[in-house]
């Protein structure tokens, strides 16, 4: 078991009692439900509970559940969980070694694998460290030393360009997949069915990942290593530019890590596992999190006066002049959220699609139809309609988080900048005055096909074959 990554249930057949446990951070999804007859149900999907349980909820990460005791007990209680401000000095080499160890640990595999490479800092570091350490592993002996990398985006998107450059630099066998806005819109219902959420930013990012995962699986690849978790640990989202002090920044990172199981972990797991593809996330290794979260958060503060951009602490740790991991301009590329990096017109297209399907009258009645987590945009309303068609139970609705957000912030962080309250959108471009391509006006595609199908549609995608070295 990879350092508490997996959840499990142990059954005692002598008396049918059991103990269930969920992994530390919530990398793998888990839910618990109770039947009318008093039975207890455990499932990795809401779909496994909604027909048989009177009530179900998220199984909290880092907890045990005992059928004999009838309650939860936390087994994962690291020092950072209390949100006390740490004071350990920043040691770049220690941080680098901790991450390399986390990646190496995830190279233990007996199946064909690759890395997801968007060309951003996090996925590029995952790929760079994997390339550097792959040769001496058992996986390399079985599948070859040539690492496969995968990227998805709209034609001409920022990620496709950056990923290709990184792949060329690292010498990976790179696979570039493109999709159109209409391809994504056609897949939305399938995405919501598999991810079991109506959260806007999760659906925006899950859709291209869902489309890419099918193509990756069709190549015979069964496991990918991905870069989720870094932004939460290091304060990488662009709204962290407005963090007023290190204390609030640290508390925000703690809250973001604690909520990962409802956002990026949910996306990374469900969008890939929908096609039988496993995603591994080295940034969420317990030992690495402990290392990174024990450092004085002053080093995570974004200080333009000192030349420190977001995640400067992580970037500096891998800024090796003698044996460079990455080109400088990639190592110091501005944060780009996945749903933005696949192409800016993707989000604009989703908004245009929602505009054509949700009327102003529907929005005016939203608070009566959806009293919990009331949709505040037409895009959110559109996703909510689809979600409740698949999962009408109140328990299912309550598993999805809500509240105001800008550029993926918590509700508390919205208070960091007064102008954000009028621009609540999870896109990184909503970080006005920070993102290099921040919103100024909407540039929407001239024609976006309207309407949603009544039943989930599976999108046929073709991908060239790939020979896995043996």
Residues 379-410 as b or e (16 or more Cβ within 10 Å = b)? bbbbbbbbbbebbebebbbebbbbeebbbbbb
Q: What are phi and psi of 178, to 5 degrees?
A: -115, 155
Q: Are 185 and 351 in contact (CB under 8 A)?
A: no
Element (H, E) at 216: helix 200-218
Residue 396 tokens, joined = 């299912």
- The partner residues of 19 in beta bridges, in order of sequence, read 10, 66
Non-local CB neighbours of 66 within 8 Å, separated by 6+ positions = 17, 18, 19, 73
DSSP letters, 243-260, are --SHHHHHHHHHHHHHTG
Q: What angle do CA 98, 130, 22 make, to 5 degrees?
A: 60
DSSP state of 397: H
DSSP state of 97: H
Confirm whether residue 121 is marked as ligand binding: no
Non-local CB neighbours of 190 within 8 Å, separated by 6+ positions = 210, 274, 456, 457, 458, 459
CA 462 to chain centre: 25
Integer Cα distance of 114 and 100 in angstroms? 16
Confirm whether residue 152 is marked as ligand binding: yes
Integer Cα distance of 219 and 86 in angstroms? 45
Q: What are phi and psi of 74, to 5 degrees?
A: -70, 130
- The partner residues of 279 in beta bridges, in order of sequence, read 224
Q: Please name the residue ranges forming H helices in 284-341.
A: 286-293, 312-317, 328-331, 338-341
DSSP letters, 119-158, are SSHHHHHHHHHHHHHHTTSHHHHHH-S--EEEEEESTT-H
Angle (deg, nearest 10), helices 92-105 and 286-293: 170
Q: Please name the residue ranges forming H helices in 51-199.
A: 92-105, 121-134, 138-143, 158-170, 181-195
- The partner residues of 280 in beta bridges, in order of sequence, read 225
Confirm whether residue 465 is marked as ligand binding: no
Could you list the residues known to form a binding site, using ranges: 116, 152, 226-227
Could you list the residues known to form a binding site for ATP, using ranges: 116, 152, 226-227
């Amino acid at each position: 078991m990879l350092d508490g990554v997996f959840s499990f249930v142990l059954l005692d057949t002598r008396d049918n009692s059991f103990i269930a446990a969920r992994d530390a951070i919530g990398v793998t999804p888990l839910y618990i439900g109770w039947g009318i007859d008093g039975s207890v149900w455990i499932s990795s999907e809401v779909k496994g509970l909604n027909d048989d349980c009177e009530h179900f909820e998220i199984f909290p990460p880092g907890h045990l559940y005992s059928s004999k005791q009838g309650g939860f007990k936390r087994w994962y209680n690291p020092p950072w969980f209390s949100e006390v401000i740490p004071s350990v000095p920043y040691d770049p080499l220690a941080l680098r070694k901790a991450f390399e160890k986390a990646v190496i640990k995830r190279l233990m595999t007996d199946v064909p694998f690759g890395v997801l490479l968007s060309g951003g800092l996090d996925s590029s570091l995952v790929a760079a460290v994997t390339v550097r350490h792959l040769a001496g592993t058992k996986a390399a002996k079985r599948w070859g030393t040539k690492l496969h990398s995968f990227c998805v985006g709209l034609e001409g998107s920022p990620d496709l360009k950056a990923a290709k450059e990184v792949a060329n630099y690292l010498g990976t066998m790179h696979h570039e997949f493109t999709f159109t806005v209409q391809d994504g819109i056609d897949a939305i219902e399938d995405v919501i069915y598999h991810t079991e959420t109506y959260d806007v930013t999760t659906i925006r990012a899950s859709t291209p990942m869902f489309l890419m995962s099918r193509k990756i699986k069709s190549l015979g690849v069964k496991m990918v290593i991905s870069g989720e978790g870094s932004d939460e640990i290091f304060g990488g989202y662009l709204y962290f530019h407005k963090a007023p002090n290190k204390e609030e920044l640290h508390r925000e990172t703690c809250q973001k890590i604690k909520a990962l199981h409802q956002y990026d972990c949910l996306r990374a797991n469900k969008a890939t596992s929908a096609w039988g593809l496993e995603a591994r996330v080295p940034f969420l290794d317990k030992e690495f999190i402990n290392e990174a979260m024990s450092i004085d958060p002053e080093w995570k503060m974004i200080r333009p006066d000192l030349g420190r951009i977001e995640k400067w602490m992580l970037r500096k740790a891998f800024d090796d002049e003698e044996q460079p991991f990455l080109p400088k301009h990639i190592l110091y590329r501005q944060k780009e959220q996945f749903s933005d990096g696949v192409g800016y017109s993707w989000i604009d297209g989703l908004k245009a699609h929602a505009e054509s399907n949700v009327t102003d009258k529907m929005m005016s009645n939203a608070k009566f139809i959806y009293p919990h987590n009331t949709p505040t945009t037409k895009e959110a309303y559109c996703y909510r309609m689809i979600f409740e068609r698949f999962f009408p139970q109140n328990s299912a609705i309550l598993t999805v988080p809500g509240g105001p957000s800008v550029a993926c912030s918590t509700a508390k962080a919205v208070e960091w900048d007064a102008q954000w309250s009028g621009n609540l959108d999870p896109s990184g471009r909503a970080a006005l005055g920070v993102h290099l391509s921040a919103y100024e006006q909407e540039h929407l595609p001239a024609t976006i096909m309207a309407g949603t199908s009544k039943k989930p549609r599976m999108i046929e995608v073709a991908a060239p074959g790939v020979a896995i070295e043996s």
